[in-house]
Chains A and B, each alone.
Chain A
Amino acid sequence: MNYVFSTFWSESILFTFILFATQFVPKKKEKYGILFKIFGFSLICISILILHTGANTTENFLKFLLFISAGMILVNIHQILIEDGIATQEWLILFLNILMGGLIAISSTNFLGFFIGLELQNLAFTVLSALKKDSEYSFEPSIKFFICNTLSIFFMLFGIAILYYALGTINFDLLNQKFETTSYTILGYASIAAAFCFKFGIFPFHEWMLDLYKGLDNASLLCFNTIFKVTIFAVALKLYSVIFIHIPWLQDLIIFLCIISMILSSIGGIGQSDPKRLLAYSTIGNGCFLALGIFNGMNQQNYIFYIFCYLITNMSTFFSLLFLKGNLRTGLIFTQSKLSTTFLISVLALGGIVPFPLFFAKILIFYRLIESRAYFSTFAAIISAIISMFFYLKLAKAAYTSHYEEEETIHFWKIFFPVLLAILLLFSFIWAPLLGAHLTNLLQ
C-alpha cells in the first residue's frame, strides 16, 4: 500500500495543479509571471519531497529529475514566453500535461500505462509547439512531430497488442517471467524496438528530430530537450530491462544503429550553420552515446548520473540560447559578455571536455564499454566525440569574433539562472563525486 502511495502521490498533486491552472488563473495577464513562479517553486518543493520521502528506486530519481527541471523552467520562462508572443496560460497547462505524461510513463508497471503516458506527452507537445501563432514555421514542426510520433506510437501499440496475444499479459514483471522466443513475441518486441528508435532518434528514424529542432520556438525546444528527453531516457532504461535484455540480436542491432547514428550526427553537424540544428545533432549524438552505455549493461546509478549531468548542461545551453534569442551574432562577447560566456561554457560542457560534468559521466560510460570489451563502440564513440567537438567549438566561435554593433545589455538578475547553471558546470568536480556516491549508496 505504502509503495503504491509513494509512487503516485506526486502525480496526484500534479493533477491538482493542472486543475488549478485551468480554473483559477488570474484575469490580469501581468500576474501570470507570479503564477509561473509559484508553480515552479512548488514543483521544486515536490521534487525535494520525492527525494526525501519516496522509496529509493530509479523511478523516483527520474521523477525527481523531471520535477526539478520542470520547476526550474517554470520559474524562468515567463518573460521569454511574453517576448515570443505565446499565450502563457495555455502554455502552462500543456507544459504540466507533458510533465504528467512523463511521470505516468516512468511510474507505469505495464505497457498500457507506458502508452498512455507517451501519448499524453505527444498530444500536449503537438499543441504546445504550435502555440506561437504568428510564425508559419511553428505549425510545420508541430504537424511533423504529430505525424512522426503517432506513427511510432502506433508501432508500439501494434507491438503491445501482439505481445498480449502471444503471452497473455502486458505487465512488465510477468512479461519478464513468461518470456519465450516465438515469432509473435519477436515481432512484438521488434516493433516496440522500432518505436523506441523513433523516439530516441536513432539512425534511420532521426530525420524528424532535425526538422523539429529547426522549426520549434525556443521555449518548446527547451521543454523538448529536458522533460521529453528525460522521459525517453527513462523509457530506454525500462525497455532495456524488459525487452532487450532477452533478445541479444536486438541489442546488437540497436548498438550498431547507435554507432552509426553517433557518427552520422557528428558528421552531419559539421556543415550546419543554424545553432538549433547543430544542437539537434548534438542531442542525437549524446542520446546514442548514452544508449550505447545502457545496452552494454551500464548500471542504473551511473545512468541516472549521466542523465542528471546531461540535463544540467542542456538547460544551461538552452537557457543561454533563449536569452540570446537563438541568434548567435558575432561579437556577443562585447555586448553580452556574461551571457555569451555562459553559452560558451555550456557548449564546451556539451562536448564533454574535462572539468565539466559530462566528462565524468563519459568516463563512466567509456569504462563500461571497455569493461564489456566493446572496443568497436569505444572507437566509434571517440571518433564521434572528436568530430562533434568541432561543431561545438564552431557554435562558440560565433560569439567570439570581433565585429559587433552596440546593443542593450540584459540585466544581470534576468540571466541569473543560466549563470548559476554555468557556475555549477564549472565546479562539477565538487558536486559530481558527492552526487555519484549518493546515488551509489541509495540504489545499490
Chain B
Amino acid sequence: MTTPSRRRRATYPTLVLAAVCSLGVGGAACGPLEAQAPDDPSTPPAKEQRQPIAPATAVDAGTSAPQPNDFFGGGAPYEAYPEDGGVP
C-alpha cells in the first residue's frame, strides 16, 4: 500500500456542515456555500423555518428489513441515511 497524495479535496459539504450552514450559524465554514445561494425573498426568515439536517444514525441491528447494502454487498455505502434506504 501507499500513502495517497491527494490530487484534490472535497469541497462539497459533509452532512454535518450542510446542517450548520443551513442554520446560518456556520460562519466562515459556510462561506462558499452561502455565497452561491442567494436568498429567496419569498422564503421566511431562517430561524423560523430552517431546521438542522439530522446527521445519519447507526443502523439498528434488529431492523425488520435488510439495508440496501445487504443485497449485493461490495462495500459501497448505499445511502448516507441508511434508515431511509431502499434499492431503487
Do A and B pair up? The answer is no
List A residues at the B interface (Cβ < 8 Å).
none
